[in-house]
Amino acid sequence: MMSAPRVAILVPCYNEATTIAKVVADFRRVLPNATVHVFDNNSVDGTADRAREAGARVRAVSLQGKGHVVRRLFADVEADVYVLVDGDDTYHADSAGQLVGMVWEQGHDMAVAVREATVEAAYRAGHVVGNRLLTGFLAWLFGRPCRDVLSGYRAFSRRFVKSFPVLSAGFEIETELTVHALELHMTVGEVVTPYKDRPDGSFSKLNTWGDGFRILRTMVRLFNAERPLAFYGVAGGLFAVAAVVLAVPLVLTWLHTGEVPRLPTAVLATGLMLFAALSATVGIVLDMVTRGRREAKMLAYVALAAPGDR
C-alpha cells in the first residue's frame, strides 16, 4: 500500500482578510494532515494576521502579481502533492481529497477542479466567454481538450511543481500551468466541483475587459512560442501573397513594353517578398529553439519521481 503523501495547501493572497480564515479552516478540516501555506502579496487589510491566527504558515512576497507568488510557493514549499487554491472562498474545499487522490493514487501530474457555478453571479458572462475561447484555442494548439483552463483550484505532483518554470507575473499563471502539462504530454485529471460567488465584503481583482485583452495577448504569445513555424509561416504567406498581387501587373506591363512604370510599387513588392522570406527563416530557427526548450523541460520532468514513488 502507498504511504500517506505530504500534502501542501498553497494559497496566494492579496487583500483577502474577509475570507482567508474560513479558507484555511475549511482545508484544515478536509485534509487535517496537510500543511496550509499562505503567501501574502502586499495585503493592507490584515490578511496575513488572520491567516496566521487560523493556523496557516504565512510568508510575504513583495513582487506584486499572482505569478510571482506562485513562483515563490513552488520554489519554497516541499511536499509530495500540492493543492493550489485562491483565498477568496469561492472554491469547494471538500473536493480537495478527490484532487489529491487523482495525483497520488491515480498518477496524474495535474488534477483540475472544473468549476460548476452554484449561482449565476459566481461566473460572469465575460469570464465564461474568455475561458471557452482560450480552452478551445489550447485544444486546437495541442490537440487535447481541457475543460477549464482558468480554474485557480488544482492539485499537482511534486515533479510537475519542481519542473515548472513560472514565467508569467499575473493571472496568466493558470494558462501557463495548463500549457506546461499539455506541452509535455502529462496526464491531467478533472474533478467537477461547485463554484460559488464571493461572500459579502469580498471583491474580485479581475477586470472583464482588461483580462479579456490579456487572454487574447496570451493566445498570440502561446501561438508564437509553441508553434513558431506556423505563426511566422502564416505571416510570411500573407507578405508573399501581397507581393505577388502587387507584382503581377508590373510584370505583365514589363513583358509587353519592356518598362516598369511604377517603380515605388516594384520596390514595395520586392520588400514584401523579402519580409516573407525573412519570416519563414525566423519560423524555422525558432521552431528548432522551441524543440530544444521542450526537450530541456522534459529532462527536468523525468528526472523526478512519479506520484506515489518515494
Which tens digit of pLDDT belongs to each residue from 284-310? 999 999 899 888 888 888 888 888 765
- The more confidently predicted of residues 149 and 277 is 277
Closest CA to 155 of 5, 8, 306: 8
Q: Is the pLDDT of residue 271 over 60?
A: yes
Task: Specify whether the CB–CB gap between 107 and 187 falls below 8 A.
Answer: yes
Kind of pairing, strands 81-84 and 154-157?
A: antiparallel
* Confidence band of 227 (pLDDT split at 50, 70, 90): confident
Looking at residue 129, its pLDDT comes to 74
- Which band of pLDDT confidence, cut at 50, 70 and 90, is reported for residue 121? very low
* Torsion angle (degrees, nearest 10) of CA 96, 98, 103, 105: 140
Query: What is the chain's alpha carbon radius of gyration, rounded to the nearest angstrom?
Result: 24
**Mean of pLDDT values over 94-116:** 94
Residue 161 pLDDT = 94
Phi first, then psi: what are they for 19, rounded to 5°?
A: -120, -20
pLDDT band at 125 (very low <50, low <70, confident <90, very high): low
pLDDT of res. 306: 82
Is 251 a residue whose pLDDT tops 80?
Answer: yes
Q: Give the span between the Cα atoms of 270 and 278, in whole angstroms.
A: 12
pLDDT-based confidence at 170, cuts 50/70/90? low
- Express each pLDDT in 4-31 by its tens digit: 899 999 999 999 999 999 999 999 999 9
Cα-flanking dihedrals φ and ψ of residue 148, to 5°? -145, 85
How much is the pLDDT for 203? 55
pTM, entire model: 0.81
Helix, strand, or coil (residue 193): strand
Provide the mean pLDDT of the chain.
Answer: 86
What pLDDT is attached to residue 124? 54
